[in-house]
Amino acid sequence: MKKLKKLPFQDIFFGIIAFSASFLVLSLIFSTVLVLYNESSLAIHRFGIINFILTEEWDPVREIFGAAASLYGTLVTTVLSLLFAIPIAIGIAIFLAEVSPHLLKTPIGIAIEMLAAIPSIIYGMWGLFTLAPIMGNYIEPALQNTLGKIPVIGKLFEGTPTGIDLLTASLVLSIMIIPFIASIARDSLNLTPNIMKESAYALGATKWDVVKDIMIPYAKLGIYGGIVLALGRALGETMAVAFVLGNNHQITLSLLDAAATITVTLANEFTEADSDIYLSSLFYLALILFVLSFVILAIAKFFLLKAERGYSR
Amino acid sequence: MKKILNGIVAVGILASSTAIAGETINGAGATFPYPVYSAWAYQYYKETGVKLNYQSIGSGGGIRQIRNRTVDFGASDAPLPPKKLDEYRLYQFPAIIGGVVPVVNIPGVKAGQLKLDADALCHIYLGEIKYWDNSHLKELNPNLRLPHKKITVVHRSDGSGTTAIFTHYLSDACPQWKEKVGAGKAVNWPVGIGGKGNEGVANYVKRLKYSIGYVEFAYAKQNRLAYTLLKNKAGNFVAPSIETFKSAGATANFDPKKHFYLWMVNAPGKNAWPIAGASFILEAREKKEADKKVNKFFKWAFENGDEIAIKLDYVPLPKELKEKIYKYWKENGIYPEE
């Protein structure tokens, strides 16, 4: 009898704690947006919304600021890094799920997951001291001499190859996000019911047929989820990119040119920003990044939900 | 019983140690002078037991913190003009001098061999002089074999006092630069790649052949980079060294009436290095007692800290400037009494 009487109170109490925790998280997000908007109001009033997003110039001396160059860099590095990372990560996942000998599965799996544990500033330092010289001295000149000679694609490889550019930054970023896609994809692939695989083999399918037509369609949702996670990570990554991108506020077609992303701009210029409009413009950039990430992840989630519903018909 | 006794002894020791700890002075700001301020602070603590807590969050942060009176003093590589000092109600005086040095990476050219003048530096950074064997550069260096290679320009990707000093030098000596780009801690560089921090620029110049960059003197020395000679206002080609920086400090005209607001570039001395700058201390005008404590530390540093500064490749203030600062303190009622 005593226990029955206590139960409702404990339930109510626990319910209150759970509710407060979720409310706290929501209010933190809301207050972040509020602070960002408050601090950037000076810049919003001076530069407007469309004008700020389309202005390439970033001149702290003349106090003319625009987000176009940083936005371009953010989008290009994110897209490029995903382009490099997705095929490699799915390849790793297929290898670990189907091809690899049983003994190798655990060590390689752990090694991939270790990649995710490396702090991003270490990636930045490795990129600066190891990858950038290799890119600048060997790989980029080679690219210039081969792909650079083709008429239209050649425009992507113009300029002096210094190793400090969009290409190197995207490479470093792609190495960082591979483990996210690879682990989730491998786990999803492993979830394919054995009976489906065995039925396919019984009908005479090869290993590649099974992977292509049975396992990947089954794991599609998981792989998308991993890609969305990696996308979010790539959008917000700062330190890995800051050392090898050069922070040049320019929109350039060539991948061998230095550029800027929103996160790199903020990391480099926030502490020394002295004028109020400069600081306000940096907050404005941060607000744009916040909204951008929110919108992109919302779109991705929407497609995920649509695919989920379509699948479970 | 024993445990409780041990506990009481431990708490007693802790409590008494905080009592012995003494007071703390809080400062925040510029990253450039951080090594010398912390070296001074260590010595000062050993001699007087007063701690100095300095956060090197950048000049912008330092100015913001002293404006909000959350610290006892702020440190800025860029001096505030008298109007801003009146608006924020701050005192200002220089504490240490540093030199900015152009460095190059041209195979075959050693440190102190390449001669440059303001015009050449200006047009290189504007992107108008594109190759090392440009006629103007060959004119300045008739004895050097300059190759026909593209110049890779390196500048800072982050906002910094070093950039402020360098761009003020270019603006002062070169009207084209002043019109096109201007001076500041971060500017809209026409060409070049940006390195993060002095270390970033030093790293790039070391790695990239046929590149040119600018760094604080300490970084050029420690990374054994090939620094250049520069033509100063008096017309002489000088090499960067403690003597030429000191000469710039001695001949620059710091005016206490303007709260020492001065960009020390293009100092007129015969032997002066043209790209030098001071790092400044900002104090609240209404907190005279706190200011006296801070100035006690700096008076100690001015009297005892010169060797420490030189060992760390900084340039201590010349004696005349220190006297001017003492007078400035006395006139404003913030001179530290003994």
Instruction: Write out chain A residues lying below 8 Å of B59, CB-based.
Output: 272, 274
The reported pLDDT for the residue numbered B8 is 74
The pLDDT of residue B122: 94
Here the tokens at position A284 are 């404005």
> Among A8, B181, B219, which residue's Cα sits nearest to residue B227?
B219
pLDDT band at A313 (very low <50, low <70, confident <90, very high): very low
Confidence (pLDDT) at B7: 67
Kindly provide the residue ranges of all beta strands, DSSP E only, lying in A74-213, ordered along the sequence.
Answer: none
Q: Which amino acid type is present at position B16?
A: S
Residue pair B56/B31 in contact (Cβ under 8 Å)? The answer is yes
Q: Which residue of A has its CA nearest to B162?
A: A272
Helix axes B288-304, B34-48, angle to 10 degrees: 100
Q: A269 and B158 in contact by Cβ < 8 A?
A: yes
Q: Which residue has the tokens 């929110």?
A: A294
What integer pLDDT is reported at residue B10 of this predicted model? 62
3-state secondary structure A213-228: HHHHHHHHHHHHHHHH
First to last CA, chain A: 47
The answer to whether the beta carbons of residues A220 and A124 sit under 8 Å apart is no
Element (H, E) at A56: none
Q: To 10 degrees, what angle do helices A262-269 and A276-311 make?
A: 150
CA–CA gap between residue A260 and residue A241 (Å, rounded): 9
Q: Position of tokens 């396992």? A: A215
Q: Which residue of B has its CA nearest to A271?
A: B58
pLDDT of residue B20: 45
Taking the Cβ of residue B158 and every Cβ of chain A, the question of whether any pair is shorter than 8 Å is answered with yes
Average model confidence (pLDDT) across chain A: 89
* Interface confidence: ipTM more than 0.95: no
- Cross-chain Cβ contact B159/A133 below 8 Å: no
Q: Is the pTM of this model over 0.80?
A: yes
Instruction: Search chain B and give the residue with CA nearest A257.
Output: B193
**Which pair of tokens denotes residue A19?**
């509710």
Strand intervals (E) in B88-218: 90-105, 115-116, 152-156, 193-195, 211-216
Report the C-alpha gap between A60 and A313 in whole angstroms: 56
Q: What's the pLDDT score for residue B19? A: 44
pLDDT of A220 above 80: yes
Amino acid residing at B174: C
DSSP H or E stretch at residue A137: none
Residues of A in contact with B125 (CB under 8 A): none
Question: Taking Cα atoms as reference points, which of A81, A55, A263, A265 lies closest to residue B157?
Answer: A265
**Which residues of chain B have a pLDDT value below 50?**
17-20
* Domain range list for chain A: 65-312
* Selected residue of A55, A64, A271, A278 to mutate for chain B interface (largest B Cβ count, 10 A): A271
Q: How far is B60 from chain A (nearest CA, A)?
A: 4
Asked if residue A108 has pLDDT above 70, the reply is: yes
Please choose, from the candidates A177, A194, A14, the residue with its C-alpha nearest in 3D space to the C-alpha of residue A85: A177
The predicted model gives A207-215 an average pLDDT of 90
Measured N-to-C along each axis, helices A2-47 and A276-311 cross at an angle, to the nearest 10 degrees, of 130
Pick the closest to residue B161 from B100, B111, B221, B115 (CA basis): B100
**A249 with A69: CB under 8 angstroms?**
yes
Res. A4: pLDDT tops 70:
no
Put simply, the chain B residues between 57 and 96 with a CB less than 8 A from any chain A CB are 57-61, 63, 78
Structure tokens that stand for B74 in this block = 């702020």
Measured between alpha carbons, how far is B226 from B264 in angstroms, rounded to an integer?
A: 24
What whole-number distance in Å separates Cα of residue B271 and Cα of residue A204? 88
* Chain B residues lying within 8 Å of A129, measured CB to CB: 203
Q: Which two tokens stand for residue B271?
A: 């032997």
User: Which tens digit of pLDDT belongs to each residue from B155-180?
Assistant: 998 888 889 999 999 999 999 999 99
Sequence letter at residue A55? T
The pLDDT tens digits of the residues spanning A239-298 come to 989 888 888 888 988 888 889 999 999 988 888 787 889 999 999 999 999 999 999 888
Alpha carbon A69 to chain centroid, angstroms: 18
**Preferred mutation among A165, A243, A272 to probe B, highest tally of B CBs within 10 A:** A272
Q: What residues does B96 pair with on adjacent strands?
A: B279
As a whole number, mean pLDDT of residues A134-150 equals: 88
Q: For domain A65-312, give the fold.
A: MetI-like fold (1.10.3720)
Cβ–Cβ pairs < 8 A, chains A and B: 90
CA distance B304 to B299: 8
Give B186's contacts in chain A (Cβ within 8 Å).
Answer: 60, 269, 272-273
Would you call B315 exposed, middle or buried from its count of C-beta atoms within 10 A (0-12, 13-18, 19+)? buried
Note the pLDDT of residue A250. Answer: 87
| The predicted structure's pLDDT at residue A218 | 87
- What percent of chain A has a predicted confidence (pLDDT) above 70? 96
Residue pair B129/B136 in contact (Cβ under 8 Å)? The answer is yes
Which chain B residues are closer than 8 Å to A269 by Cβ?
158-159, 186
